[in-house]
Amino acid sequence: MSEIFSYERLYNFAYNVFCNIGCNPGDAKLATSVLLSADLRGVDSHGVARLTGYVRLWEVGRVNAAPAIKVSYETPSTAVVDGDAGLGLVVAPFAMKVAIGKARIAGTGWVSVKNSNHYGIAGYHAMLALEDDMIGISMTNASALVAPTFSIERMLGTNPIAVAIPAGDQPPFVADFATTTAANGKLEILQRKQEPAPFGWVQNKDGQPSTDANELKSGGALLPLGGDREHGSHKGYALGSIVDIFSAVLSGASYGPWAPPFPAYVPMPENMPGVGLGHFFGAMRVDAFRPASEFKAHMDNWINRFRAATPVPGEEKVLIPGDIEREMEVFRMAGGIPLVDPVVQDLQQLAQKLSIIF
Amino acid sequence: MSEIFSYERLYNFAYNVFCNIGCNPGDAKLATSVLLSADLRGVDSHGVARLTGYVRLWEVGRVNAAPAIKVSYETPSTAVVDGDAGLGLVVAPFAMKVAIGKARIAGTGWVSVKNSNHYGIAGYHAMLALEDDMIGISMTNASALVAPTFSIERMLGTNPIAVAIPAGDQPPFVADFATTTAANGKLEILQRKQEPAPFGWVQNKDGQPSTDANELKSGGALLPLGGDREHGSHKGYALGSIVDIFSAVLSGASYGPWAPPFPAYVPMPENMPGVGLGHFFGAMRVDAFRPASEFKAHMDNWINRFRAATPVPGEEKVLIPGDIEREMEVFRMAGGIPLVDPVVQDLQQLAQKLSIIF
């Protein structure tokens, strides 16, 4: 069961929550916009459903609501940003803007971030580059839930990659995906419905393929994109590793199985090799390669041609990355955002605890 | 059946072939080294097995053996390289060196290439960055053999991505993979053995899942990494698209279904929107983010920890991307390179045609 809430209502609530824990109004607005962009775009696992999780991290002292985010090292096209344990929702846009600033002068900008926290949906940050006619890239490491090919142990997060590419008359190309077969949010939906997961999504605690959507609770793991070796899981494992290394080994954040876990009740790993969670951002000016008008005309041509590809029987058309999320955004901004009952109850409890109207 | 050849023998033969079609000695050496690195590293589909294919492209005038490769546009951290229809085996290292040169000054370098041809294995070019303590990135578009999610039509190549990351005491991390479930070369092995392909590798001409390894010959297509929508093929499709756009839309090469086909007997697509095949290269100085010694010590730690992950029963250990290829390289350099009979016959015919000793 679920209930529908207007964007404004959820926005006001989340904004008040962020203010309540000590964010200044600018940061609270930014964090709320990033968080709710997930709900609008249909990535329900990364929206207000996570709000209580952020508050809990603040309660245990792992989130600093008033961080002094700074560039700690830089070259003409690179920088390292120290997030000062701030909300990733605030640290990430700061870092992406540093990348965009570098790209204005050097053609491209690349920023690796340490000492941060969960940054919401990857796509939001990548899309910040679009208005400047730049390609935006965003990735982050995350709590270790994923077993590499041949591993029983969870060593990587779902480590998403987002790439946003501007077009002309067409809407932009926006890919935003976890480097696992399925994101954890999709597994949670199956758990609620008490339905099995397809093979290739999870393995059990002994490293065997499983269709039990609850495997993660009993020591199992998510699987890298590909699912098993025969279907290319070593490629998903490599992608997740690249995200981990760019986000955390380059910056000095904590990596691999040492990535700080999102749930505040999970103890921090021992002997962490770096500080907090890591992200990686890139911005490339398209006119650092060819005139922007030319590039955008060819992107329109690319998009039109792919949209016109003959679909398989039973499917209406071939989609361009970003199509579904963009349509969902329009739909939910007008018609409201559905939240499942457990999320509604969770937010009601949070409202009560902080004495905020929901 | 197969026969074993020494590296030297294959090297001398390929070198003579490249000289014979008009490459200068430097270019012939470079092209041979790139080509044979595939045979050494066990990527048999991209080694001397393709030599005749390159010669055929030269015969029909699609490969220029004496190209004037040049930087046609640049900013501090970017460049576009015009390959002048040269062998990709020669154009790609030129472009990668431009990226490395930019990175020395700006921290990173990013080069998109147009007017090129098939560039051999992606990993070779990425690995050029390692000796300068840089991360190397290499990707290319290719003949359209892959159907996007929900498409019957072949719209993308197997569009590989390679990322090489330096370590300290450990060998480097080298990922090099097609953005399809399985590379075309793996399908060719099954064709020779007359064995079926696993589900998720190919679809038939009607867009239905198939296990027939010969599907490509009857209008079928390779599938993006993930295989089907339920297993994340939209992610593989997005990755292949990103490679296509970075390689060809940024540079002005021909993209998507218009990418020039590798087999010289296949007619060129009509209304090509760009010139030749495209590649994309990146080089990032690790000390543009943190001191190289620090980075390399943490990469060693990363690699050691992943290698030590508890393996699933029946598997010896968790592998690091590049392990298999590096071990194969040592093995084949010492013990020789096995070539299957059809490849041997093909090379014998080539030797006869060009009056070169094989």
Model pLDDT, residue B183? 86
Give the number of C-alpha atoms closer than 13 A to the C-alpha of residue B14, restricted to the C-beta side: 29
Model pLDDT, residue B188? 85
The mean pLDDT of B291-312, rounded to a whole number, is 98
Give the number of C-alpha atoms closer than 13 A to the C-alpha of residue B93, restricted to the C-beta side: 18
Contact A321 B182 (CB under 8 A): no
Structure tokens, A38: 């997930």
Does this complex have an ipTM over 0.85? yes
- Residue of B211, B255, B306, B320 to mutate for A, most A C-beta atoms under 10 A: B306
Model pLDDT, residue B193? 85
Contact A207 B249 (CB under 8 A): no
How far apart are the two ends of chain A, measured CA to CA in Å?
19
Distance in angstroms (rounded) separating the CA atoms of residues B223 and B200: 7
What's the 3-state SS for B72-98? EEEECCEEEEECCCCCHHHHHHHHHHH
- Which are the contacts of B42, defined by CB distance < 8 A and separation ≥ 6? B324, B325, B328, B329, B332
Nearest CB to A207: which of B73, B305, B313?
A: B313
Q: Give the count of Cβ contacts less than 8 A between chain A and B.
A: 254
Strands (E), chain B: 2-5, 70-75, 78-82, 108-116, 134-140, 161-165, 173-177, 202-203, 209-210, 221-222, 277-285, 337-340
Contact B238 A290 (CB under 8 A): no
Domain with CATH 3.30.1370.60 in chain A: 67-180+225-336
Distance in angstroms (rounded) separating the CA atoms of residues A147 and A154: 4
Model pLDDT, residue A118? 98
From B262, B258, B272, select the one nearest B55 (Cα to Cα). B262
From A11, A4, A83, select the one nearest A51 (Cα to Cα). A11
Contact A110 B106 (CB under 8 A): no
Contact B106 A163 (CB under 8 A): no
For domain A182-222, give the CATH superfamily.
Hypothetical oxidoreductase yiak; domain 3 (3.30.60.50)
Q: Do A304 and A170 contact (CB within 8 A), yes or no?
A: yes
Contact A245 B208 (CB under 8 A): no
Question: Which CATH code fits A67-180+225-336?
Answer: 3.30.1370.60
Q: Looking at CA atoms only, how far is residue A23 from chain B in angstroms?
A: 29
Least confident of A121-130, A158-167, B178-187: B178-187
Model pLDDT, residue A148? 98
Contact B235 A226 (CB under 8 A): no
Residue whose entry in the numeric block shows the structure tokens 């190549």: B157
From B156, B109, B148, select the one nearest B278 (Cα to Cα). B156
Model pLDDT, residue A82? 98
* For residue A310, pLDDT beyond 90: yes
Question: In one letter, which amino acid is A181?
Answer: T
Q: Is the pTM of this model over 0.95?
A: yes
From B18, B16, B27, B46, select the one nearest B118 (Cα to Cα). B46
Distance in angstroms (rounded) separating the CA atoms of residues A165 and B235: 16
Chain B hits for A112, CB-CB cut-off 8 Å, are 289
* For residue A189, pLDDT beyond 90: no
Distance in angstroms (rounded) separating the CA atoms of residues A222 and A185: 11
Model pLDDT, residue A89? 98
- Residue of B312, B315, B316 to mutate for A, most A C-beta atoms under 10 A: B312
Contact B245 A207 (CB under 8 A): no
Q: Looking at CA atoms only, how far is residue B13 from chain A in angstroms?
A: 34
Model pLDDT, residue B185? 83
Q: What is the pLDDT of residues B321-353, one digit of tens each?
A: 999 999 999 999 999 999 999 999 999 999 999
Nearest CB to A238: which of B76, B152, B321?
A: B321
Question: Residue A253: pLDDT band by 50, 70, 90 thresholds?
Answer: very high
- What's the Rg (C-alpha) of chain A? 20
* For residue A185, pLDDT beyond 90: no
Chain B hits for A274, CB-CB cut-off 8 Å, are 298
Contact A77 B319 (CB under 8 A): no
Model pLDDT, residue A72? 98
Structure tokens, B279: 């590649």
Q: What is the pLDDT of residues A67-101, one digit of tens each?
A: 999 999 999 999 999 999 999 999 999 999 999 99
Question: Residue B314: pLDDT band by 50, 70, 90 thresholds?
Answer: very high
Nearest CB to A151: which of B106, B203, B311?
A: B311
Count of residues making up chain A: 358
Domain with CATH 3.30.60.50 in chain A: 182-222
- Which are the contacts of A244, defined by CB distance < 8 A and separation ≥ 6? A141, A156, A157, A159, A255, A256, A259, A278, B302
Contact A177 B250 (CB under 8 A): no
Q: Looking at CA atoms only, how far is residue B349 from chain A in angstroms?
A: 35
From A132, A155, A29, A77, select the one nearest B79 (Cα to Cα). A77
Crossing angle, helix A341-354 and helix A7-20, to 10 degrees? 40
Chain B hits for A75, CB-CB cut-off 8 Å, are 106-107, 285, 288
Chain B hits for A80, CB-CB cut-off 8 Å, are 289-290
- Which are the contacts of A81, defined by CB distance < 8 A and separation ≥ 6? A69, A70, A71, A72, A91, A94, A95, A98, A111, A112, A113, A114, A251
Contact A238 B155 (CB under 8 A): no
Structure tokens, B190: 């099954």
Report the mean per-residue pLDDT for chain B: 97
Nearest CB to B200: which of A231, A257, A305?
A: A231
Contact B207 A151 (CB under 8 A): no
The mean pLDDT of B83-91, rounded to a whole number, is 98
Model pLDDT, residue A145? 97
Chain A: residue whose CA lies nearest to B223:
A231
Question: Residue A186: pLDDT band by 50, 70, 90 thresholds?
Answer: confident
Chain A hits for B311, CB-CB cut-off 8 Å, are 150-152, 207
Q: Looking at CA atoms only, how far is residue A12 from chain B in angstroms?
A: 34
Q: Do A182 and A213 contact (CB within 8 A), yes or no?
A: no
Q: What is the pLDDT of residues A260-290, one digit of tens each?
A: 999 999 999 999 999 999 999 999 999 999 9
How large a percentage of chain A has pLDDT more than 90?
A: 96
Q: What is the pLDDT of residues A323-342, one digit of tens each?
A: 999 999 999 999 999 999 99
C-alpha pair distances (Å), A98 with each of A104, A159, B78, B185, B269: 10, 22, 18, 42, 42
The mean pLDDT of A139-166, rounded to a whole number, is 98
- Residue of B43, B75, B145 to mutate for A, most A C-beta atoms under 10 A: B75
* For residue A120, pLDDT beyond 90: yes
- Residue of A102, A152, A231 to mutate for B, most B C-beta atoms under 10 A: A231
Q: Looking at CA atoms only, how far is residue B266 from chain A in angstroms?
A: 21
| pLDDT top residue among A317 and A188 | A317
Model pLDDT, residue B186? 87
Contact B310 A153 (CB under 8 A): yes
Dump the DSSP string for B116-177: E---S-HHHHHHTTGGGTEEEEEEE--SS-BPPTTBSS--B----EEEEE--SSSPPEEEEE
Distance in angstroms (rounded) separating the CA atoms of residues B107 and B272: 35
* For residue B73, pLDDT beyond 90: yes
Distance in angstroms (rounded) separating the CA atoms of residues B280 and B116: 11
